[in-house]
């Protein structure tokens, strides 16, 4: 992180603390006034209250982290950052399986916990002022305020520094801003006692629409679960062919010739996967010359399809700079090229019978 960010960080934290302190002072003053009028003592926190509140806030933070992870992954895939690539290729996972799974499981849990809390508040309104609920609420307000201010500072910094404000970057900033502001508005309303049964229902529907819309958007950009499964099959096929390619190279180094068939590799105890895990059919190896050969497989998807995840791409080796492929049967043309510094030709040793 640039040192300028640290220069802004300290005053921002101080400002946020002051804001939260003012809010806390205002809320506590109203709460004490109400308590004095009703001559009631501050409510005690039971084990049930503690578990419900702690569980609800843990579910909330889990949902937020998963939602942001999902949306950032979608944005990065839909609006990729154009960077300079070198001869070495890297692969990054664009899977949304984990965040979607967490959202599907945790959102009903969060709604259920919030329903139990609301039911407790209807029968015993004073429980809304217990220390656990208020303490966790203040922490949530503090964190959301930091995110809001930090989000805005990041945009201003990028603008002043002359950095490119790409569509992907602005969408990420907008996502953080909307999520943080929504949380801040909800919990500040909760502290001030402004939330009613109808308003709580509105917030639940709003959260449900955001989560459901994000999941649908993710599947639209990255493909359905079936598409992801087919892509993973293709990734495994490329990985198997890469390993087979290495074994053929090792065979040439030790035998000074290419194997005629895959059986030659098998009987020489070279470890590689011979069959496609999806169809069970064996991969194809065709010797096309003294130092050239082909490795073939049947692929489900075009690796250049915009809806596909990033495929594993090998380092430049034996004349191959990438393992991109179309859908259907495709053969990778390979040529053995040995570096004498790293791969010296071995002298064949006569077999002893």
- What number of H helices and E strands is found in the chain? 8, 3
173 within domain boundaries: yes
State the pairing for strand pair 328-335/292-299. Answer: antiparallel
215 lies in the same domain as 254:
no
Strand order in the sheet with 292-299: 284-287, 292-299, 328-335
| Residue 110 pLDDT greater than 70, yes or no | yes
Do residues 63 and 129 both lie within one domain?
yes
Q: Are residues 108 and 200 in the same domain?
A: yes
Domain assignment present for 346: no
- 104 with 185, same domain: the answer is yes
Same domain for 211 and 103? yes
- Contact criterion met (CB below 8 Å) for 313 and 323: yes
Per-chain mean pLDDT for the chain: 78
One domain, residues 254 and 189: no
CA-to-CA separations, 80 to 77, 89, 94, 167, 324, in angstroms, rounded: 5, 16, 11, 9, 18
Pick left, alpha or beta for residue 193 (phi over 0 → left; psi -120 to 50 → alpha; otherwise beta): left
Could you tell me which residue, 266 or 22, shows the higher pLDDT? Answer: 266
Write the pLDDT tens digit of every residue in 77-86.
888 776 544 3
Highest mean pLDDT among 4-8, 100-104, 197-201: 100-104
pLDDT of residue 5: 40
Please indicate, yes or no, whether residues 110 and 139 belong to a single structural domain of this protein.
yes
Q: How many structural domains are present in the chain?
A: 2
Q: Which two tokens stand for residue 240?
A: 């198997």
Tell me: do 253 and 278 sit in the same domain: yes
d(CA 32, CA 10): 32
The tokens describing 218, both together, are 């993710």
Residue range of the domain that includes 325: 226-335
pLDDT of amino acid 26: 52
Residue 260 within a domain = yes
* Domain identity same for 187 and 269: no
For 10-68, write each residue's pLDDT tens digit. 455 445 545 555 555 555 555 554 554 444 455 666 788 888 999 999 999 999 999 99
Question: pTM surpassing 0.95?
Answer: no
Separation of alpha carbons 293 and 288, rounded Å: 5
User: DSSP strand E in 300-342: where?
Assistant: 328-335
Q: What is the pLDDT of residues 300-338, one digit of tens each?
A: 988 876 444 444 444 444 444 578 899 999 999 998 876
- Is 345 part of a structural domain of the chain? no
Q: Does residue 294 carry a pLDDT above 50?
A: yes
Query: Rounded to whole angstroms, how far apart are CA atoms 267 and 340?
Result: 27
Tell me what pLDDT residue 222 has.
82
Given 196, 222, 248, which residue is the final one in a domain?
222
Interatomic CA distance for residues 248 and 7, integer angstroms: 56
**Closest to 213 (Cα-Cα) out of 293, 302, 100:** 100
In this predicted structure, which of 210-219, 280-289, 339-348 has the lowest mean pLDDT? 339-348
Shared domain for 161 and 291, answered yes or no, is: no
pLDDT tens-digit readout, 122-157: 888 888 888 888 889 999 999 999 999 888 898 888
Note whether 200 and 280 are same-domain residues. no
Mind giving me the DSSP string for 176-214? HHHHHHHHHHHHHHHHTT---HHHHHHHHHHHHHHHHHH
* Confidence (pLDDT) at 7: 41
Whether 70 contacts 215, CB under 8 Å? yes
Proportion of the chain above pLDDT 70, given as a percent: 74
Domain assignment of residue 349, yes or no: no
Q: Is residue 15 part of a domain?
A: yes
Length of the chain: 353
* Higher-confidence position of 243 and 347: 243
Q: Is the pLDDT of residue 88 over 60?
A: no
Which of the four pLDDT bands, split at 50, 70 and 90, describes residue 225?
Answer: confident
Domain boundary among 222, 241, 273: 222
User: Rounded to an integer, what distance in angstroms lies between the CA atom of residue 77 and that of residue 218?
Assistant: 10
Band of pLDDT at residue 174, cut at 50, 70 and 90: very high
Average pLDDT (183-188) is: 95
- Is 350 inside any structural domain? no
Structural domain includes residue 343: no
Q: How far is it, in rounded angstroms, from Cα 301 to Cα 345? A: 38
Q: Which of 173, 200, 222 is the last residue of a domain?
A: 222
If asked whether residues 19 and 123 sit together in one domain, one would say yes
């Amino acid at each position: 992180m640039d040192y300028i960010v640290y220069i802004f960080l300290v005053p921002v934290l101080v400002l946020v603390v002051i804001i939260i302190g003012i809010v806390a002072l205002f809320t506590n003053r109203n709460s004490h006034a109400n308590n004095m009028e009703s001559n009631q003592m501050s409510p005690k926190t039971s084990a049930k209250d503690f578990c419900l509140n702690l569980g609800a806030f843990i579910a909330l933070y889990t949902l937020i982290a998963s939602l942001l992870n999902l949306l950032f992954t979608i944005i990065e895939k839909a609006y990729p950052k154009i960077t300079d690539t070198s001869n070495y290729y890297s692969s990054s996972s664009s899977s949304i399986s984990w965040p979607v799974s967490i959202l599907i499981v945790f959102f009903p849990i969060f709604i259920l916990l919030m329903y139990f809390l609301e039911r407790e508040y209807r029968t015993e309104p004073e429980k809304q002022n217990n220390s656990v609920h208020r303490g966790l609420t203040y922490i949530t307000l503090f964190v959301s305020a930091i995110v809001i201010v930090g989000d805005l500072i990041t945009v201003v910094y990028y603008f002043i520094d002359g950095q490119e404000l790409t569509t992907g970057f602005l969408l990420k900033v907008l996502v953080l801003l909307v999520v943080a502001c929504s949380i801040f508005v909800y919990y500040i309303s909760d502290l001030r006692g402004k939330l009613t049964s109808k308003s709580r229902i509105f917030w639940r529907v709003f959260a449900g629409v955001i989560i459901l819309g994000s999941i649908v958007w993710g599947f639209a950009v990255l493909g359905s679960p079936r598409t992801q499964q087919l892509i993973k099959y293709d990734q495994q096929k490329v990985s198997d062919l890469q390993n087979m390619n290495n074994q053929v190279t090792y065979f040439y180094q030790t035998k000074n010739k290419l194997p005629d068939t895959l059986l030659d590799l098998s009987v020489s105890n070279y470890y590689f996967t011979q069959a496609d895990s999806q169809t069970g059919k064996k991969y194809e190896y065709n010797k096309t010359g003294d130092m050239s050969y082909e490795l073939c497989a049947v692929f489900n998807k075009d690796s250049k399809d915009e809806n596909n995840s990033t495929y594993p791409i090998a380092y430049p080796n034996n004349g191959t700079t990438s393992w991109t492929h179309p859908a259907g049967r495709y053969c990778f043309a390979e040529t053995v090229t040995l570096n004498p510094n790293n791969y010296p030709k071995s002298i064949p040793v006569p077999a002893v019978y």
